[in-house]
Structure 1
Amino acid sequence: MINHRMLHRRKNSLGNKVFVFLNTIFMVLFVIITLYPVWNTMVLAFNDGTDALRGGLYLWPRKWTLQNYITVLHKKNLLVGAYVTVARTVIGTLTALAANALLAYIVSRKRFLFKRQLSLFWVITMYVNGGMIPVFLLYKGLGLTNSFLVYVIPGMVGAFNMMVIRTYMAGLPDSLEESAQLDGAGDLVIFTKIISPLCKPVYATIALFCAVGHWNSWFDAMLYNRMNANLTTLQYELMKLLSSVSNQSNSVESMKNAVAAVTPTSVRSAATILTMLPIVCLYPFLQRYFVTGLTIGGVKG
């Protein structure tokens, strides 16, 4: 009873109220600072490009228009790039999640003899790589250039993702696996029926990491598939679009843009919003798993 009263007084103390007030103000300001650049980019994307040159756009478009988005969506190869990016994101995320989960299950088992050596090997790959030219020559020798598989196979196994899943699995009770073995279950049944259902938080976290990485990637498309217009990604096409509107010197193209009331800044803003929109829509469905999976499955020394 005394402890309850002391706790109640501590919660209602002046110092605690001041802390809650200042913490609330700080968090509100932090959210505003974080979201304002995105909001301002959206304002520019929905505002007339010529009107935006006057400046003074902060919280609301002054002259509404969809021409910026129309200009972006009418660009050549953009639709093909969107199809390739969606396919890459879905297939790449699923294969990476399956491969990392299987490897994590193997090295998380106490009876596996070489788990320390393999874990050390994968950690080294996080800091040491062969470099761009050797990697390009390797992919070319394997026939991965000018191929969709270059988006999927090289990213199937990630040392960081595997270590996060391994740490999460190692924290599960050993009694679950032992009881399943007593009932005659093999490793595949244990992994699919017992371990994996308990790993949904960390799986969702890694899936979000992989999906964002695949969706935002454009450099590999430029290196390995730039000569094949049917295999370029959305991000690569948008990068070319931003480069073209930034370095526009053709008078005919400039006249078209003047008539359409778009500018490089407005087109860039519209392209940015279109690029981030799918991930923003996906995140709320995975957010409830994100914190749990990341903290419990964090790599520990």
Structure 2
Amino acid sequence: MADIQQVSFERIKHKKKMATEDLIFTILNTTFLVLFAVVTLYPVINTLAYSFNEGNDAVRGGIYFLPRKWSWRNYEEILFERPGIRVGAKITVLRTIIGTLTSLAANALLSYILSRKKFLFKSGVSLFWIITMYASGGMIPVLILFRYLHLTSSFWVYVIPGMVSAFNVMVMRTYMLGIPDSLEEAAQLEGAGYMRVFVSIITPLCKPVYATIALFVAVYHWNSWFDAMLYNRFDPQYTTLQYELMKLLDSVSATTGATSGAAMTAATANTITPITVRAAASIATMAPIIALYPFLQRYFVTGLTIGGVKE
């Protein structure tokens, strides 16, 4: 009996020790995650606070989480008094929608072809796509090619060159390889062709990878500015939001260097300042794409683990 009691006491002691270790781990893990969230979100919150603050008050500094003096003047400046930003916003929205849909369709079709076992050249074509991920012709040859194809000084330079991505094709192909062949064989016995199988069977099962790739492509199109500067620099009607933001940041930085807060006129000081306009422009450009993440969040875990398991 004494031995049984001793064993029971040791088990209870071990369980208490494990419970204490779990509690310590939970406290440390929660503390780390809270600190990480604060460090990650603070720059965005601070920029948001500056964007809603009056310009003359923002020059004093000391703004952290909330504006000291609320004002909409900064957003009125960038949304209603700068036509380049409005044009850039329209072009960016169009290129994001059209570019994402066309890229998703092209990558999905190519991935479906490469994932079929009956396609004889799938190994050679896959190797060709992988080589393009590491080697390119360079910026100057690409610019010359786009000019020859009449893509420069046009909207389609944003859409056509980026329709197919080797990385996205490989990710989709890996996901499609995990779909059982019996589903396709059963559909073919019923008379379904390859396109019918792709639309009715492959596409519904590939919603997670489609959503993940669509998010990646949309973020790329929304944040892209270098192609606008390189191919449509002298065509204001094809400017993009991020390119206009870059020009705005350059202009306000030059203004900040040339004009100090003390030298500002009373009229200007009571309206806007470079730091508040810069903050408002940053928030206005990042807010729409951030709003997409909650709707696609449930696909993120699946999307990030695609390709992690090899047969």
TM-score, length of structure 1 as denominator length:
0.91
* In structure 2, distance between residues paired with 1:240 and 1:233: 11
* In structure 2, distance between residues paired with 1:256 and 1:235: 31
Which of residues 282, 293, 296 in structure 2 aligns to 1:286?
296
Q: What's the counterpart of residue 204 of structure 1?
A: 211
Give 1:172 deviation, angstroms. Answer: 1.0
Which of residues 28, 31, 38 in structure 2 aligns to 1:32?
38
* In structure 1, distance between residues paired with 2:57 and 2:252: 17
Which of residues 87, 90, 102 in structure 2 aligns to 1:83?
90
* In structure 2, distance between residues paired with 1:102 and 1:221: 28
* In structure 1, distance between residues paired with 2:269 and 2:47: 22
Give 1:94 deviation, angstroms. Answer: 0.1
* In structure 1, distance between residues paired with 2:170 and 2:76: 43
Give 1:133 deviation, angstroms. Answer: 0.6
Give 1:293 deviation, angstroms. Answer: 2.2
1:217 aligned onto 2:227: no
1:269 aligned onto 2:279: yes
* In structure 2, distance between residues paired with 1:12 and 1:25: 20
Give 1:168 deviation, angstroms. Answer: 0.6
Which of residues 57, 63, 70 in structure 2 aligns to 1:64?
70
- Extract unaligned runs of 5+ from structure 1: none
Considering only aligned residues, what root-mean-square deviation do their CA atoms show, in Å?
2.3
Which of residues 96, 106, 131 in structure 2 aligns to 1:99?
106
Contact 1:202–1:297 at 8 Å: present in 2 too?
no
Contact 2:49–2:67 at 8 Å: present in 1 too?
yes
* In structure 2, distance between residues paired with 1:34 and 1:61: 19
Q: Please say which of residues 213-222 and 10-19 is displaced more in the overlay.
A: 10-19
Contact 1:205–1:293 at 8 Å: present in 2 too?
yes
Equivalent position amino acid for 1:272 in 2: S
The 4+ residue runs of structure 1 with deviation greater than 2 A are 8-13, 248-251, 254-257, 296-301
Equivalent position amino acid for 1:41 in 2: T
Equivalent position amino acid for 1:270 in 2: A
Give 1 or 2 for the bigger CA radius of gyration: 2
1:1-301 alignment, distance < 5 Å: 9=15, 13-73=19-79, 74-248=81-255, 249=258, 255=265, 258-297=268-307
Give 1:13 deviation, angstroms. Answer: 2.2
Q: Does the residue aligned with 1:77 lie in a helix, a strand or coil?
A: helix
* In structure 1, distance between residues paired with 2:228 and 2:180: 43
- Extract unaligned runs of 5+ from structure 2: 1-10
Contact 1:166–1:297 at 8 Å: present in 2 too?
no
Q: What's the counterpart of residue 4 of structure 2?
A: none
Give 1:233 deviation, angstroms. Answer: 1.0
Distance 1:184 1:270, change over 3 A: same
Distance 1:152 1:288, change over 3 A: same
Equivalent position amino acid for 1:266 in 2: T
Give 1:52 deviation, angstroms. Answer: 1.4
Give 1:297 deviation, angstroms. Answer: 4.7
Equivalent position amino acid for 1:54 in 2: R
Contact 2:55–2:269 at 8 Å: present in 1 too?
no
Equivalent position amino acid for 1:209 in 2: F
- Deviation string 1:162-189 (CA, Å, 9 cap, x unpaired) is 1111111111111111111111111100
- Deviation string 1:3-62 (CA, Å, 9 cap, x unpaired) is xx99x9499622122212211111111111111111011011111122112121111111
* In structure 2, distance between residues paired with 1:10 and 1:122: 56
**Total equivalences in the alignment:** 294
* In structure 2, distance between residues paired with 1:168 and 1:17: 39
Contact 1:226–1:232 at 8 Å: present in 2 too?
yes
* In structure 1, distance between residues paired with 2:159 and 2:302: 27
Q: Does the residue aligned with 1:71 lie in a helix, a strand or coil?
A: helix
Sequence identity, in percent?
64
TM-score, length of structure 2 as denominator length:
0.89
* In structure 2, distance between residues paired with 1:290 and 1:21: 27
Give 1:76 deviation, angstroms. Answer: 2.5
Distance 1:87 1:245, change over 3 A: same
